[in-house]
Amino acid sequence: MRIAVGSDHAGYALKSTIVDHLTAAGHHVVDLGAESAEVSVDYPMYGHAVGEAVAEGRAERGVCVCGSGIGIGIAANKVPGVRAAVVHDVTTATLARRHNDANVVCLGERTTGLAEALDAIDAFFATEFEGGRHQRRIDQISGYDADASTPAVPFTTNDQKRQQPTS
């Protein structure tokens, strides 16, 4: 599988280990930076770059790493078509793929131990999307890429008030 990876300086060490791990597993890894833990860089550009690589089809999936995984994941999710998920362990990585069809996995170097991170990476890449009832929800999310002001799929229950978000 072709995988785009990116990190800021705070995620550099974990990203480098993940690159080696994925390469050893036979994946083609495209490392989009950062190039060092020594020089402070801003995570948004790296999260966005990974997201673009996935959305444009230059990579099938992506991996983002920063201190917490949160900021870089927010940046990746700004790219239409990206479903980036912050994961902490095998369970969250598996559910991100199985239920949410996540195409970018985000980890925090400061929040996830090395063994847990590598196990989560393996689970993420080994898990297929379940589809079924989850596809309807993915379609709703994808609809927001085109028009963030309206629900992507009409509600199908009589209890629309309960289902509508409140302002």
Nearby residues of 146 by Cβ (< 8 Å), 6 or more positions away: 80, 152
Using DSSP, state whether 55 is helix, strand or coil. helix
Contact 24, 81 (CB under 8 A): no
Contact 58, 104 (CB under 8 A): no
Is 134 one of the catalytic residues? no
Give 50's DSSP letter: H
Is 9 one of the catalytic residues? no
Question: Could you say which of 48, 66, 88, 134 is catalytic?
Answer: 66
Question: Could you say which of 88, 99, 106, 134 is catalytic?
Answer: 99
Rg over CA atoms, the chain:
16
Nearby residues of 82 by Cβ (< 8 Å), 6 or more positions away: 51, 54, 55, 62, 76, 103, 104
Catalytic positions are 66, 99
